[in-house]
Amino acid sequence: MHSISPAETTALNWLSDQHNTMFEHVQQWTSINSGSQNLTGLSQMSHILQRAFSALGEPKLLAPTKVDAVNANGESVPVVRGHNLYLSVRPQAPVQVVLAGHMDTVFGLDHSFQKGRGIEGDRLNAPGAADMKGGLCVMLHALKAFEQHPAAHELGYQVVINSDEEVSSLGSAALLNEVASKAHLGLVFEPAQADGTLAGARKGIGNFTAVVKGRGAHAGRNPELGRNAITAVSDLFVELGKLSGARDGLTINPARVEGGGPTNIVPELAVGRFEVRVKQHADSDFAMGEIKQLADMVAKRHDVQIDLHGRFNRLPKPLDTRQLELFDAVKLCGTALDIPVMWQASGGCCDGNNLAAAGLAVVDTLGVRGGNIHTSEEFMIIESLCERARLTALLLMRLATGVISVSPKTPS
Ligand SMILES: [Zn+2]
């Protein structure tokens, strides 16, 4: 094991002095509502981040790509997303890293969780504290510390902070893909578990909408003329539910039905939304094939039309040898800093999936330690701000000096 060098010590000690600054950042950032749909809040947040990250270079705010969604009437309509922050530093350096995070949260303006209860012992309860405004703060300060190292010129990086991660990153997927094509490895600042456990393998996810078009009719006078879209979508959901477990780790969650109307009319339209999660790449093709077949079968059975929308927008991230190499490198840095590093497979997905699908080795839970994310009980463990920034800073310094080497990328 490599002990910590004097140059590393200088940068790490600087970080230890940043505790108050970091904590103030997180308190300020979590006081701004930046739900994925709150474009005003996202704009405010993006400008604050732009100022904060200008300490490292010249961050730009890039417009999202166009995103469509199926509405409750079964029509494909454009949805607006926020801008994404992008920063590139030393693109010619021999080692290239992507650091990614998101500024959006799952808590919109209509959610009751707006300010949180604040400090509670060693924790902060605030919306997005762990997921992931704390993580953004870890990323920023790890980079600031890294820049103090004399070998910093050996490593260049791109920072992407998107505004739609919590709604599948459709407006930023192209940007993530593009930055990944120019890098060797990816670091994402999603929260680790409260005890520090990182997410290892991740499942892939697809979000789908079935638009079922039947035929309206008077429910009393001539129901036989109608084709009930609600009955058909219910049947489809029951059939889809049976697919769960057809492959190891394959789950289908029929989640929402919209449509129908007065009880005296046979409903002619139903919109059914569901998600599918898989462990292996091949399982997404398998699931896709099964879903199409079931939709055809149900359409015939009920004499309705079923149009499927959606796709696997995040592919699985299995822990292959190259991924494990990077996890081992993080672990070695942890050992040098007395930070235990372990990992566990997760059913959840994040932008780490996108970066891995583009061919990068990725560790995607380098943010703060915390828990209960996506609920009003979300918390960040305050002392983990410095701790996790030290971990990433040391990793970056060792990548720059070559103590940790990067394997060539797999073709994407
Ligand atoms: Zn997150």
136-185 pLDDT, tens digit each: 999 999 999 999 999 999 999 999 999 999 999 999 999 999 999 999 99
- 310 and 328 within one domain: no
- 245 and 337 within one domain: no
pLDDT tens digits for 197-246?
Answer: 999 999 999 999 999 999 999 999 999 999 999 999 999 999 999 999 99
pLDDT tens digits for 73-117?
Answer: 999 999 999 999 999 999 999 999 999 999 999 999 999 999 999
Q: Which of 314, 335, 367 is the last residue of a domain?
A: 314
- 220 and 168 within one domain: no
Nearest to 242 by CA among 316, 180, 298: 298
pLDDT at 409: 66
CB 250 within 8 A of CB 244: yes
Per-residue pLDDT for 408 more than 80? no
Please tell me the distance between residue 271's alpha carbon and the centre of ligand 1 in angstroms.
28
Please tell me the distance between residue 11's alpha carbon and the centre of ligand 1 in angstroms.
27
Which amino acid is located at 175 in the chain? L
Please tell me the distance between residue 129's alpha carbon and the centre of ligand 1 in angstroms.
10
Tell me the two tokens of residue 181: 């094509």
CB 296 within 8 A of CB 309: no
Give the DSSP letter of residue 388: H
Residue 350 falls within a domain, yes or no? Answer: yes
Please tell me the distance between residue 102's alpha carbon and the centre of ligand 1 in angstroms.
7
Please tell me the distance between residue 229's alpha carbon and the centre of ligand 1 in angstroms.
36
Distances (CA, A) of 145 to 149, 233, 268, 399: 7, 55, 61, 14
Please tell me the distance between residue 311's alpha carbon and the centre of ligand 1 in angstroms.
21
- 152 and 29 within one domain: yes
pLDDT at 407: 73
Please tell me the distance between residue 190's alpha carbon and the centre of ligand 1 in angstroms.
5
pLDDT at 336: 96
Domain count, the chain: 2
Please tell me the distance between residue 128's alpha carbon and the centre of ligand 1 in angstroms.
8
Q: Which of 257, 282, 314 is the last residue of a domain?
A: 314
If one counts every other C-beta atom within 10 angstroms of the C-beta of residue 39, the result is: 15
Nearest to 28 by CA among 62, 52, 58: 52
* Percent residues over pLDDT 90 in the chain: 95
Per-residue pLDDT for 269 more than 60? yes
Alpha-carbon gap, residue 85 to 87, rounded angstroms: 7
Rounded mean pLDDT of 345-364? Answer: 93
- 307 and 372 within one domain: no
Per-residue pLDDT for 411 more than 60? no
Nearest to 167 by CA among 208, 126, 106: 106
Please tell me the distance between residue 133's alpha carbon and the centre of ligand 1 in angstroms.
9
- The environment of the single-atom ion ligand 1, i.e. residues with CB closer than 5 A, is 131-132, 190
Residue 369 falls within a domain, yes or no? Answer: yes
Please compute, for residue 242, the number of CA atoms within 13 A of its CA located in the half-sphere on the CB side.
8
Q: Sorting pLDDT into bands at 50, 70 and 90, what band is 410? A: low
Please tell me the distance between residue 132's alpha carbon and the centre of ligand 1 in angstroms.
5
Residue that is written with structure tokens 């739900």 in the block: 35
Alpha-carbon gap, residue 213 to 249, rounded angstroms: 32
Please tell me the distance between residue 373's alpha carbon and the centre of ligand 1 in angstroms.
8
Please tell me the distance between residue 160's alpha carbon and the centre of ligand 1 in angstroms.
13
Please tell me the distance between residue 217's alpha carbon and the centre of ligand 1 in angstroms.
46
Please tell me the distance between residue 131's alpha carbon and the centre of ligand 1 in angstroms.
4
Please tell me the distance between residue 365's alpha carbon and the centre of ligand 1 in angstroms.
9
Give the distance, in angstroms, between the CA of residue 53 and the centroid of all CA atoms in the same chain.
20
- 363 and 302 within one domain: no
pLDDT at 1: 60
Please tell me the distance between residue 245's alpha carbon and the centre of ligand 1 in angstroms.
27
- 109 and 237 within one domain: no
Please compute, for residue 105, the number of CA atoms within 13 A of its CA located in the half-sphere on the CB side.
34
Contacts of 300 (CB under 8 A, 6+ apart): none
* Percent residues over pLDDT 70 in the chain: 99
pLDDT at 258: 97
Alpha-carbon gap, residue 391 to 404, rounded angstroms: 14
Q: Which of 249, 281, 314 is the last residue of a domain?
A: 314
Residue 168 falls within a domain, yes or no? Answer: yes
Rounded mean pLDDT of 280-304? Answer: 96
Residue 180 falls within a domain, yes or no? Answer: yes
Alpha-carbon gap, residue 326 to 360, rounded angstroms: 10
- 254 and 125 within one domain: no
pTM of the entire predicted model: 0.93
Please tell me the distance between residue 130's alpha carbon and the centre of ligand 1 in angstroms.
8
- 320 and 310 within one domain: no
Please tell me the distance between residue 192's alpha carbon and the centre of ligand 1 in angstroms.
10
Please tell me the distance between residue 87's alpha carbon and the centre of ligand 1 in angstroms.
20
Rounded mean pLDDT of 261-284? Answer: 96
Residue 407 falls within a domain, yes or no? Answer: no
Per-residue pLDDT for 394 more than 60? yes
Alpha-carbon gap, residue 214 to 232, rounded angstroms: 8
Please tell me the distance between residue 393's alpha carbon and the centre of ligand 1 in angstroms.
21
Which CATH number does the domain housing residue 86 bear?
A: 3.40.630.10
Which CATH number does the domain housing residue 279 bear?
A: 3.30.70.360
Rounded mean pLDDT of 351-373? Answer: 95
What is the rounded average pLDDT for all residues in the chain? 96
Please tell me the distance between residue 91's alpha carbon and the centre of ligand 1 in angstroms.
27
- 171 and 117 within one domain: yes
Domain with 14 in it = 6-70+79-201+316-401
Nearest to 158 by CA among 171, 177, 145: 177
- 101 and 180 within one domain: yes
Alpha-carbon gap, residue 198 to 103, rounded angstroms: 20
Residue 144 falls within a domain, yes or no? Answer: yes
Residue 343 falls within a domain, yes or no? Answer: yes
Please tell me the distance between residue 165's alpha carbon and the centre of ligand 1 in angstroms.
7
- 247 and 187 within one domain: no
Please tell me the distance between residue 106's alpha carbon and the centre of ligand 1 in angstroms.
9
Residue 412 falls within a domain, yes or no? Answer: no
